[in-house]
Amino acid sequence: MSTGEPLFLDFFFLLRRIGVPASTREWLMFVEALERGLVAASLDRFYAIARATLVKHERYYDLFDQAFSHYFLGTRPPAELTRAIEAWLEDPLPLPTLSPEELAALEHLDLDALMKRFEDTLREQDERHDGGSKWIGTGGRSPFGHSGVHPTGMRVGGESRSRSAVQVAAQRRFVDYRDDLVLDTRQVGIALRKLRRLGRVEEATELDLEGTIEATARNCGDIEVALRPPRENQLKVLLLMDVGGSMDPFALTVSRLFSAAHAAQHFREFHAYYFHNCVYERVYDNARFSSGKDTLELLRWLGPDTRLVVVGDAHMAPWELTARGGAIDYHHQNDDPGVVWLQRLRRHFKQSVWLNPMPQRFWTHPTIALVSQQFSMFELTLAGLEQAISSLRQSA
Amino acid sequence: MYDNFTGTESYIASPELQEAVNVALALQRPLLIKGEPGTGKTLLARAVAEQLKRPMHTWHVKSTSKAIEGLYVYDAVQRLQDSRFGDRDVRDIRNYIRFGALGRAFLADEPSVVLIDEVDKADLEFPNDLLHELDQMSFTVTETGDVHTAKIRPLVIITSNNEKELPDAFLRRCIFHFIAFPEPTLMARIVKVHHPKVRGVLLDEALARFYWLRSLPELRKRPSTSELVDWLGALVRGGLDEASLAERIPFLGTLLKKEQDLEAVARRGRGWTKH
C-alpha cells in the first residue's frame, strides 16, 4: 500500500467476529489484489474480489453480504450481532438451589395440563421474567422457560441444564454441527476406517505393480501380472443424530463423530440426518431442523443393506416414546408414538447400532432401557465405537 | 496489462465469476469453482482457454486418483516389458516418465489453462498432496531427482461438486467462487445461446415448468441446465408450441432421469398451474 496504511482492516475483523473464518493468508491475498489495482474504483469489483479471496464456502456468503452492506452501505448490523429476542432469554441467572422438600413440593404435571398451562401463561405474559415461579423466563421454578428447575418442565429456547425440559416451543438456533468442523477427528476417523473392510470387493481386478515386479522377477523376467481387489467400498451408511436438549453437553463429541464420518472416504454412500430426542415422521438435513425428509421416504430410498447408526442419549420424557402427540417440539403432532418409529427403523435395516454418549451406568433410565430393547446400544466413546463397529461387521 | 476474462459468446459468466477468474489470473492462484451439477463449472475452463487463446490440459479426477498422477507416472510395466526385447533404452528411466496434465502445463513454454475436474471425487488427502505443487508450481520426479519448475505459471481451475468437504489448508490457497443456480432471466439468456430461434412465449412457459419441477422436494435428481437445453431442443425439433405444455410436460424423460422421479411427477398431476 502506498500510504503504508492497512486498508479496511476493521472490515476483516468484522468478518471474523460474525463467523466468517477468513485467515491472515487470505487477507494478504486480498491486499495483494488491492495493491495491483485490480479493484479500481468500483464497489462491485471490490465486493467480488473480497468475496473470492476471503470467503471459501458458500455457507458464509450470506454472512459476508450482511457484513459488507453493514460496513460499506451502513445497513443494520448483521443479525448474528443482534439477536433481540434471544438476548431476552440469554445470559441466564444461576440455578436456584432447591432442597429435596422444595423439589417435591413442585407439582408434577401431565402433558396435556402442561401444554395448556404453557399456552395460558404465554398469553398472559408480556415482559421478561427471571427467577420467579410462574412466568416464562430464566432461572426460575416455573415449569416453562429455561435453565430452571422443575420436574416436568417445558423448555423455551436456551441451553438445557437440568435434563427434563419437555417441549421446546421457542425457535432454536442450534449450531449446525457440520459447519463447525474442528480438527482432532483423527481417532474417530481411524475407528470408522475399520468399517471399511466390510465392503471389500473380493474380485481382483486392479494391477498390483509391486506384486507384478516381484512375480516377474521370480519368473525370470517373463511378465507375470499380479492383480488385487480394488480399494472401492460397497458400504452404505445412514447416520441419524439427536441434537439439542439433553444432547447439548455432548455436542462436541457428536460433532467430532460427524465430521470424521463425513470426511471419511470409507463409504460408497453416506447419509446423515438429525432428529430431536426421538425419530418421528421426519428427519432433518441440519441441526436447525429447517429442511428435511420424510422418514418413510428415507426407508423407501435406502435399501435394507444400509447400515444404520443412531447417535442419541435416548433420555427423554416417557411419553415422547409411548404417546401420540408426545414429540418434544411444541408445534409437532405425531400420530404414531416414537417407539413405533424406532421399530420401523430397526426392522427395515438389517444391521443397526445405537451409540449413546451417556455413560452406561445411567442406562437404567426408563426410556434408555426401552430404546436399548430395540437397538444394540454402545457407549459413544472410542472403545464403544469400536465395539459397535465390530458388531456391525459380525452380522454382515 | 493482465489477461482479462469476460465470458464468451457461448459461455455467459456473471460479473462476480469474471472477477474471480481475473483475480486468479493476476495473483496466479488456483481458482476453485463449486456449484450444483450442470451449472457450467467444467465449461468455464474451456471458455477461459478459448478467450485467452491458451491451450488447455484436463485432468479428470476419479475416486482412485492419486495426486502424483497429475504430475507424472512412472510406467514400470512398460519398462519391464521393453527389457525383454530391448526395444528402447531401458537404462534411462526418463524414457518411462509420462507427464500428467499439471506436469505438462508446468513444462510448457506458453501460458495454459489446467482443469482439475471434480477434485472432491478423490481421497480426502488428495488436495493436501497438491498444496506444495500448486503453491510453488514445481515438482520433483522422485525416480530421477529432476526438479521441474513452471516456466510460466498456468491458470489452474479446480471444480468440486460439493460431495466432500475440502481441507482448510487447501481452501486458504485458492480463489473461490460458488456458481449459484441461474435465475430465470439469466437462464433465458443461457438457453438462447443454444436455441437462438426459440420463441419467447414457449421459452417462458418452458422455464415455468422447469423451475416448478426443480421446486419439488421429492425429486432425487433435480433437472439442471443441460437437461433444460436438451428438453427445449426436443420441443423445438418436435414442432411443439406452448399450447402443448398446457396439459402435460412432453418429453419429460429428457428432464428427469430417474424412474421414481417420473412417478413422483405423475402423482403431482398439473401442479404448476396453481399460481
Structure ipTM: 0.82
- The alpha carbon of residue A178 is apart from the nearest alpha carbon of chain B, in Å, by 10
Write out pLDDT tens, residues A72-124: 776 665 555 544 334 433 443 333 444 454 445 444 445 555 555 555 555 55
Helix axes B15-27, A43-54, angle to 10 degrees: 60
Which one has a higher pLDDT value, A67 or B44? Answer: B44
- As to burial, measured by CB atoms within 10 angstroms (0-12 exposed, 13-18 middle, 19+ buried), residue A108 is exposed
Confidence grade of residue A294 (pLDDT, cut at 50, 70, 90): confident
Fold for B15-179, please state it: Rossmann fold (3.40.50)
Q: Which three cell numbers stand for residue A321?
A: 416414546
Contact residues, chain B, for A258 at CB < 8 Å: none
Write out pLDDT tens, residues A24-47: 999 999 988 888 877 766 778 888
The ranges of chain B with pLDDT < 50 are 1, 274-275
User: For residue A119, what pLDDT is reported?
Assistant: 55
Same domain, A190 and A287: yes
Confidence grade of residue A189 (pLDDT, cut at 50, 70, 90): low
| Residue B250 exposure: Cα atoms within 13 Å on the Cβ side | 17
What's the rounded mean pLDDT across residues A12-29? Answer: 88
pLDDT reading at A143 higher than 60 = no
User: For residue A265, what pLDDT is reported?
Assistant: 57
Same domain, A366 and A249: yes
Confidence grade of residue A160 (pLDDT, cut at 50, 70, 90): very low
**Which of B18, B124, B174 lies at the smallest CB-CB distance from A265?**
B124
Neighbours of A94 (CB within 10 A): 10
Give a yes or no: residue A314 inside a domain. yes
CATH of the domain at A384: 3.40.50
- As to burial, measured by CB atoms within 10 angstroms (0-12 exposed, 13-18 middle, 19+ buried), residue A40 is exposed
Between A129-133, A238-242, B105-109, B263-267, the lowest mean confidence (pLDDT) is in A129-133
Give a yes or no: residue A218 inside a domain. no
**Residue B80 near chain A (CB below 8 Å):** yes
Give a yes or no: residue A382 inside a domain. yes
The answer to whether B176 contacts A38, with C-beta atoms less than 8 Å apart, is no
Q: In what order do the strands lie in the sheet with A307-311?
A: A292-294, A282-284, A269-275, A236-242, A307-311, A351-356, A377-379
- The alpha carbon of residue A345 is apart from the nearest alpha carbon of chain B, in Å, by 20
- Tell me how far apart the alpha carbons of residues A27 and A4 are, in angstroms, rounded to a whole number: 16
Same domain, A105 and A39: no
Same domain, A375 and A247: yes
Residues 6+ apart with CB under 8 A from B153: B28, B111, B137
What are the structural domain ranges in chain B? 15-179, 184-273
Query: Which domain, by its residues, includes A377?
Result: 180-200+233-394
Amino acid identity for residue B220 in this structure: R
User: For residue A212, what pLDDT is reported?
Assistant: 85
The answer to whether A49 contacts B23, with C-beta atoms less than 8 Å apart, is yes
A350 contacts A396 by C-beta, under 8 angstroms: no
Same domain, A148 and A280: no
For chain A, percent of residues with pLDDT exceeding 90: 3
The answer to whether B76 contacts A262, with C-beta atoms less than 8 Å apart, is no
Same domain, A318 and A185: yes
Between A185-194, A295-304, A328-337, B255-264, the lowest mean confidence (pLDDT) is in A185-194
Give a yes or no: residue A142 inside a domain. yes
Residues 6+ apart with CB under 8 A from A330: A115, A118, A154, A167, A168, A169
Give a yes or no: residue A1 inside a domain. no
**Which of A57, A223, A230 lies at the smallest CB-CB distance from B80?**
A223
User: For residue A351, what pLDDT is reported?
Assistant: 86
Domain total in chain A: 3
Torsion of CA B24, B27, B28, B29, to 10 degrees: -60
Torsion of CA B25, B27, B28, B31, to 10 degrees: -70
**Residue B34 near chain A (CB below 8 Å):** yes
Mean pLDDT of chain A: 68
Helix axes A209-218, B76-85, angle to 10 degrees: 20
Give a yes or no: residue A216 inside a domain. no
- The alpha carbon of residue B188 is apart from the nearest alpha carbon of chain A, in Å, by 24
Same domain, A194 and A322: yes
Q: Where are the beta strands (DSSP E) in A188-312?
A: 206-207, 227-228, 236-242, 269-275, 282-284, 292-294, 307-311
- Tell me how far apart the alpha carbons of residues A144 and A152 are, in angstroms, rounded to a whole number: 9
User: Could you tell me if residue A274 is left (phi over 0), alpha (psi between -120 and 50 degrees) or otherwise beta?
Assistant: beta
